[in-house]
Structure 1
Amino acid sequence: MPALGVVGQCQWENGAAGAIAGFTTVTTLHPLDVVRTRFQVNDGRVSNLPLYKNTGHAIFTIARTEGLKGLYAGFYPAVLGSTVSWGLYFFFYNRAKLRYSKGSEEKLSPGFHLISAAEAGALVCLLTNPIWLVKTRLQLQTPLHQTRPYSGFHDALRTILKEEGWRALYRGIGPGFLLVSHGAIQFTVYEELRKAVVGFRREEGKRSFHNGGKVLNTVDYAVIGASSKLAAILLTYPYQVIRARVQQRPNSDGIPRYMDSWHVVKETARFEGLNGFYRGITSNLLKNLPAASITFVVYENVLNLFKRLRTDM
């Protein structure tokens, strides 16, 4: 594939490798995702969530009061969403890069990487927003809730459609589209760091081959993946907080906590200041930095496996 390798002829390989990477990531780090979501929406005023002192305390409290079920709340939509999202993302991303490179193996500029990643992110956001909305609501269910809890993914979908209509499934789509910049930044930084490390290796005269060129090892993929994720998180995290808050379930009277994204911005800025937009960032970093490493390590190695199998056939 273009910047994550050479332009690929079999685009399904990118999608399959991305899907496997996404599945691997979410199954290993889901409890931290639950903690992150609960911190994000807890504005310190009206909340159905327990008060957690820090990430460790949150995990201990959830495990003690809700058990393993609480730590893995929303696991099914998380697995589904992550697997589908990463699969589609890598597929659309590489399709876009192939189109912009016009089939040549020439390296694309950072601008084209950014455009390709943004294009892929927008398509994935549009297709998967309902899954993420359900995941968020399931993760926020606690014994403190007064409304009838969703029994699972399908019950949540049915209930939302019945009580709120299909438009409710797209609550948070605005900040979701803004979060396209997250993936665009992450992939652009990943591409540029990858090229820089390969160039450095060439300068050192280290010889290893990957599709006829230099190859990076597993540690390289892990470090570059985590570094690119860190840059994206620091620049775009407030959008995640806004989306999580606007996607909360309405109260028993059918009134949402926040009417829209702008309402979230105004209320958060007024009552919490800048810190409010970074609630849960510690658990987010603890989850997503290793998650990014795992994702890119699995992705690159699965893609290499596919290519070796194709070559041997």
Structure 2
Amino acid sequence: MVSFTCCQLCLCTNPILVVKTRLQLQTPLHQARPYSGLYDAFMTIKREEGFSALFRGIVPGLFVVSYSAIYLTAYEKLRKTIVDLKTKGSKIQHQNPDQILNSVDFAVLGATTKVAAKLPTYPFNVIRTRLQQRPDGDGIPRYRNSWHVVKETARFEGVRGFYKGITPNLLINIPVASMTFIVYENVLKLLKLAKRND
């Protein structure tokens, strides 16, 4: 159910991602007529390339949906492993996991699972972004389809080409993931405590 909803969301947001990518990559030096803004980009893409151009990169985008499933599954599995390691051979074996883990544990869990989820799914982001580039002056896109991106990237850049930009991406996302799970787990603890006290 969650995957189906994510796929629907991907279909609805892909045109916005195409426009965002185009606006980020455009420079006045490389285009005869740069987009003046969001609306102009939408209309120009539709007029010059057709409505289907707004869905370029949808196939790798659907694979990126798996990121959430990997992220949440990895978090739960790693959380259980840390609880098991902390309780193994100690007097706190029957203690509630909420009392065993602290904010530092949640921060490490969030950061680790973010990396674990990003590594296998990041190449799909690169493929999608490259597909969404604006065609050259002759109107012919640089890449025909996802497979063409994969072949060209592997041929000219190797495996490293599929991970371009991952360092700044992780530098943004790791602290966010850590803080998210610190807040999430501590709020959950407070709600459980409040429920018990009622």
TM-score bracket, normalised by the shorter chain, equals 0.7 to 0.9
Matched, 1:257 2:135: no
**Coordinate RMSD, CA, aligned:** 3.2
Supply the distance in 2 between the matched residues of 1:149 and 1:301 (Cα, whole angstroms): 48
In structure 1, the partner of 2:79 is: 194
Indicate if the aligned counterparts of 1:208 and 1:214 stay in contact, CA closer than 8 A.
yes
| Other-structure match for 2:129 | 244
Which of 134, 137, 147 lines up with 2:32 in the alignment?
147
CA distance in 2, matches of 1:296, 1:137: 33
Find the counterpart in structure 2 of residue 159 from structure 1.
44
Q: Out of 130, 133, 140, which is 2:15 matched to? A: 130
The answer to whether the 8 A contact 2:86-2:100 is kept is no
Distance 1:198 1:158, change over 3 A: farther
Larger Rg, first or second structure (1 or 2): 2
- Residue 241 of structure 1: how far off its partner (Å): 1.2
Q: Flag the 1:303–1:285 CA change in 2: closer, same or farther, 3 A.
A: same
- 1:287 aligned onto 2:177: no
Alpha-carbon distance in structure 2 between the residues aligned to 1:304 and 1:160:
49
- Distance in 1, Cα, partners of 2:48 & 2:100: 53
Structure 2 runs not aligned, ≥5 long: none
Aligned to 1:224: 109
Tell me if the contact between 1:126 and 1:173 (Cα under 8 Å) persists in the aligned partners: yes
Structure 2-normalised TM-score? Answer: 0.78
Measure, in 2, the Cα distance between the counterparts of 1:179 and 1:151.
29
1:236-257 per-residue CA deviation (whole Å, 9 max, x = no partner) reads 2221111110011112332211
**Aligned mates of 1:252, 1:302 — CA distance in 2:** 53
Q: Secondary structure at the match of 2:46?
A: helix
Going from structure 1 to structure 2, the CA distance change for 1:127 and 1:267 (only over 3 Å counts) comes to same
Aligned ranges 1:163-174 → 2 under 5 Å: 163-174=48-59
Aligned to 1:182: 67
The amino acid of 1:157's aligned partner reads F
CA–CA distance in 2 between the matches of 1:299 and 1:247?
35
Q: TM-score, normalised by structure 1?
A: 0.52
Distance change (3 Å), C-alpha of 1:217 and 1:150: farther
Larger RCO of the pair (alpha carbons < 8 Å, separation 6+) = 1
